[in-house]
């Protein structure tokens, strides 16, 4: 049965109220969100697409060891087309999830009435995990509205008695889009197959046109997989095995901060049920505060987790009631079956441990759970509101018995509404309190530095109007290291942005450059003139450290200087060597950019017989960051006992596993040797 009645005034008012509440929880203070390597990598792909630099056919890596589809990149390019500030993308994700709340309200209202819509909409609007999964640039956070429109088009086009042809056309393309946003949505496939089977006789040609559209939407991803030779079954199997074996322990902290149980044996386990339960209940959100801070957060909040268990308990009871209705051949039987399958399949799919299970895999299930709950409450209301016409003595006796039961049903209904109200208030309290806590406490290792703090640093860099920025952190790879990935996006458009890890080297740019020093770096160990101080510091959360901005600090190294001027085949020049006992500073001058080149600096200590008795090999600054005239200071530590000569040079690894030295050349470019020899006598 479908509810075609127009919305009453109170329905309009409550619907608007639900959406305003959902929008507040999802869109307020957008700076209180994580922006780490995954978010930055996805943002970089979307920015490149929005700026016309690249059209990706593969997305970022996934937790199952297989690359994601680029569909989430295409979606995220929409907000990034308006600007390069990640706040725009964060608000875009939040808006999508407000839309998901509206769609949940609409589905519940259409098939189960106003009371069901009120319950489902309110529960989804305030659900702690639904809110948490709405405030981050994450592929899976964009799923909910697409899950809902995919299933709604299936209901409209395949399940209802008067199918909509436009819905038949859009169902499969939407399924293709949704399944490619994140692999967690693949669980929609069996639900869609069920709807196709039920509505097979009502299928029209529009459905087949939609199938063609779905195939076309999958082509970029298929091409990307083909390019990387990932289309074979064996490759998929190997990826799944790697995802299972990459976490050998039984538990750990997942990327969303929750405790993740990793199953390395193929068997049926309750992990999926556990995750589904606390996701629907809104429990365990304290895990975002991390192992060292979660108890402090809980101490500031009311002990509400026990009350939250009433939500999944209610969902289970409502599902039983709806299953009984379907068994009795209710007019809504087909809709009820689809709804219950939607609720059950995500859990059933992960009961058998074919891959490591993550809590965010249950994002697609949340709307189903709340619609089921709403339908159950509506059925309770319908039960005590039924009327009968008295025709005879037996009917009057039956009606009298019914009226005697009405007060109990009415009281039960009131109790349910009061419980839902209390749960809603507590969930808002704990959710808002959590974000305030995360914004003011150091939760390093769990919830990362909120984006708002990073944007303050970004603005300070932009205000300086520098032509170049050198980010000093504990990594130099945009692909693999957190700080470079983050600042590659945040400083997009801020001039030439490069990265250096000062663990064993330092860079002196040839052009005036700002230095942005990450909190993880001990500036006392940087080889710069001691009296030079940063011109600006920006504090993060208490105890988390500060970012420092420096303007062209001069290098300072100790020891005896030996001028060299040794030229190598890759264009790099060894200008001088500073030696202080076993401490060596090698001063190199680099040529222009050599993208993709990663060289290794070696220093070999030779004895009087030219036998190697000491050695150190250190990664050089990546070639894509070079600018002609930049100087790179490499710090090498070597035991010089018995060393008579130093053999210094560079090499790089080849694709076949071998290596190739960069040869030493004379002033006219002719070969001299494989390395430069420095006598220590």
- What pLDDT digit, counting tens, does each position of 339-351 carry? 999 999 999 998 8
Average pLDDT over residues 550-555: 82
pLDDT for residue 405 is more than 70: no
Q: Which of 3-7, 56-60, 130-134 has the highest mean pLDDT?
A: 130-134
pLDDT range class, residue 580, cuts 50, 70, 90: confident
Angle (CA) 560-554-487 rounded to 5° is 125
Inter-residue contact 273 to 351 (CB < 8 Å) = yes
How far apart (Å, rounded) are the C-alpha atoms in residues 278 and 284?
Answer: 7
pLDDT in tens, 590-641: 999 999 999 999 999 999 899 999 999 999 999 999 999 999 999 999 998 8
Listed residue (132, 125, 33) closest to 87, CA to CA = 33
pLDDT at 301: 96
pLDDT in tens, 254-295: 444 444 444 445 666 788 999 999 999 999 999 999 999 999
pLDDT at 253: 41
How far apart (Å, rounded) are the C-alpha atoms in residues 500 and 590?
Answer: 15
pLDDT range class, residue 408, cuts 50, 70, 90: low
The residue ranking higher by pLDDT, 492 or 553, is: 492
pLDDT at 64: 60
Query: What Å distances lie between residue 381 and 120, 222, 321, 377, 496, CA to CA?
Result: 15, 50, 13, 6, 64
Average pLDDT over residues 205-220: 96
pLDDT at 254: 44
Average pLDDT over residues 511-530: 88
User: Helix, strand or coil for residue 466?
Assistant: coil
pLDDT at 390: 39
How far apart (Å, rounded) are the C-alpha atoms in residues 34 and 548?
Answer: 21
The residue ranking higher by pLDDT, 229 or 623, is: 623
DSSP 147-188: HHHHHHHHIIIIISSS--HHHHHHHHHHHHHHHHH-GGGGGH
pLDDT range class, residue 63, cuts 50, 70, 90: low
Q: Which range has the worst mean pLDDT, 93-107, 130-144, 321-335, 401-415?
A: 401-415
Listed residue (517, 672, 504) closest to 588, CA to CA = 504
pLDDT at 251: 38
How far apart (Å, rounded) are the C-alpha atoms in residues 659 and 617?
Answer: 13
The residue ranking higher by pLDDT, 241 or 340, is: 340
Query: What Å distances lie between residue 379 and 105, 114, 324, 524, CA to CA?
Result: 16, 11, 12, 69
Strand-pair partners of 96 = none
DSSP state of 362: G
pLDDT for residue 4 is more than 90: no
Q: Please name the helix (run of DSSP H) or strand (run of DSSP E) that holds residue 276, with its range, or none.
A: helix 271-281
Beta strands 676-679 and 645-653: pairing type?
Answer: antiparallel
Ramachandran angles phi, psi of 283, nearest 5°:
-90, 175
Helices (H), 28-163: 37-50, 71-80, 86-112, 114-126, 128-132, 143-154
Percent of the chain scored above 90 by pLDDT? Answer: 71
pLDDT at 462: 93
How far apart (Å, rounded) are the C-alpha atoms in residues 589 and 578?
Answer: 15
Structure token pair of residue 283? 């429990």
Average pLDDT over residues 32-45: 96
Strand-pair partners of 561 = 578
Percent of the chain scored above 70 by pLDDT? Answer: 89
pLDDT for residue 651 is more than 60: yes
pLDDT at 234: 66
pLDDT at 664: 96
pLDDT at 263: 44
Average pLDDT over residues 202-228: 94
Listed residue (640, 639, 641, 644) closest to 680, CA to CA = 644
Structure token pair of residue 391? 């025709």
How far apart (Å, rounded) are the C-alpha atoms in residues 348 and 345?
Answer: 5
pLDDT for residue 387 is more than 60: no
Q: How far is CA 515 from the centre of its chain?
A: 28
The residue ranking higher by pLDDT, 466 or 25, is: 25
Beta strands 536-539 and 496-500: pairing type?
Answer: unpaired
pLDDT range class, residue 242, cuts 50, 70, 90: low
Average pLDDT over residues 290-308: 95
User: Helix, strand or coil for residue 219?
Assistant: helix
How far apart (Å, rounded) are the C-alpha atoms in residues 619 and 636?
Answer: 11
pLDDT at 61: 78
Mean pLDDT of the chain: 89
pLDDT for residue 6 is more than 90: no
pLDDT for residue 391 is more than 50: no
Inter-residue contact 469 to 497 (CB < 8 Å) = yes
**615: Cα within 13 Å, side-chain hemisphere:** 7
């Amino acid at each position: 049965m479908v509810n075609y009645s127009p919305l009453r005034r109170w329905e309009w008012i409550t619907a608007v109220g639900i959406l305003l509440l959902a929008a507040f929880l999802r869109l307020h203070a957008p700076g209180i969100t994580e922006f780490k390597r995954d978010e930055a990598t996805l943002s970089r792909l979307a920015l490149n697409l929005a700026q016309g630099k690249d059209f990706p056919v593969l997305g970022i890596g996934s937790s199952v060891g297989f690359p994601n589809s680029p569909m989430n990149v295409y979606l995220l390019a929409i907000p990034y087309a308006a600007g390069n500030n990640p706040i725009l993308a964060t608000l875009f994700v939040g808006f999508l999830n407000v839309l998901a709340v509206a769609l949940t309200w609409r589905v519940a209202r259409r098939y189960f009435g106003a009371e069901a819509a009120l319950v489902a909409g309110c529960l989804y609007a305030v659900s702690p995990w639904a809110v948490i999964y709405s405030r981050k640039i994450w592929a899976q956070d964009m799923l909910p509205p697409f899950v809902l429109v995919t299933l709604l088009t299936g209901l409209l086009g395949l399940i209802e008695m008067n199918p909509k042809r436009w819905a038949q056309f859009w169902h499969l393309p939407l399924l293709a889009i949704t399944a490619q946003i994140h692999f967690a949505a693949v669980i929609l496939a069996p639900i869609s197959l069920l709807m196709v089977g039920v509505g097979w006789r009502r299928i029209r040609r529009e459905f087949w046109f939609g199938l063609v559209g779905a195939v076309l939407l999958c082509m970029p991803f298929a091409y990307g997989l083909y390019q990387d030779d990932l289309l074979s079954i064996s490759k998929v199997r190997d990826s799944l095995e790697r995802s299972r074996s990459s976490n050998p322990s039984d538990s750990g902290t997942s990327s969303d901060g929750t405790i993740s149980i990793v199953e390395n044996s193929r068997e049926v386990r309750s992990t999926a049920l556990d995750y589904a339960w606390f996701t629907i209940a809104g429990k365990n959100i304290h895990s975002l505060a991390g192992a060292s801070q979660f108890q402090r957060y809980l101490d500031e909040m009311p002990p509400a987790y026990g009350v939250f268990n009433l939500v999944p308990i209610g969902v289970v009871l409502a599902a039983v009631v709806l299953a009984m209705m379907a068994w009795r051949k209710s007019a809504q039987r087909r809709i009820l079956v689809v709804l219950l399958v939607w609720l059950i399949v995500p859990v059933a799919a992960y009961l058998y441990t074919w891959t490591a299970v993550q809590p965010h895999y249950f994002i697609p299930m949340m709307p189903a759970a709340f619609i089921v709950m709403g339908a159950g409450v509506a059925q309770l209301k319908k039960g005590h509101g039924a009327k009968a016409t008295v025709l005879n003595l037996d009917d009057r006796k039956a009606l009298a018995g019914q009226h005697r039961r009405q007060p109990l049903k009415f009281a039960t209904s009131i109790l349910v509404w009061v419980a839902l109200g209390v749960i809603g208030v507590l969930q808002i309290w704990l959710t808002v309190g959590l974000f305030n806590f995360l914004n003011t406490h150091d939760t390093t290792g769990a919830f990362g530095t909120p984006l708002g703090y990073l944007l303050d640093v970004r603005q300070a860099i932009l205000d300086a109007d520098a032509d170049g920025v050198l980010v000093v952190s504990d990594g130099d790879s945009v692909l693999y290291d957190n700080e470079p990935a983050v600042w590659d996006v945040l400083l997009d458009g801020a001039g030439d942005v490069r990265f250096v890890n000062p663990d064993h080297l330092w860079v002196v740019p040839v052009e005036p450059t700002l230095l942005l020093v990450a909190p993880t770096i001990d500036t006392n160990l940087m080889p710069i003139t001691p009296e030079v101080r940063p011109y600006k510091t920006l504090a993060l959360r208490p105890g988390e450290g500060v970012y420092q901005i420096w303007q062209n600090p001069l290098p300072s190294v100790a020891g005896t200087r030996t001028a060299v001027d040794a030229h190598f085949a890759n264009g790099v020049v060894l200008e001088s060597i500073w030696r202080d006992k076993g401490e060596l500073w090698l001063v190199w001058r680099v040529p222009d950019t050599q993208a993709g080149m990663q060289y290794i600096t070696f220093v070999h200590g030779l004895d009087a017989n030219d036998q190697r008795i000491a050695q150190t090999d250190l990664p050089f600054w990546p070639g894509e960051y070079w600018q002609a005239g930049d100087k790179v200071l490499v710090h090498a530590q070597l035991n010089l006992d018995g060393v008579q000569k130093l053999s210094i040079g560079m090499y790089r690894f080849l694709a076949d596993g071998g290596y190739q030295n960069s040869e030493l050349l004379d002033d006219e470019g002719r070969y001299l040797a494989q390395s430069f020899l420095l006598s220590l006598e």
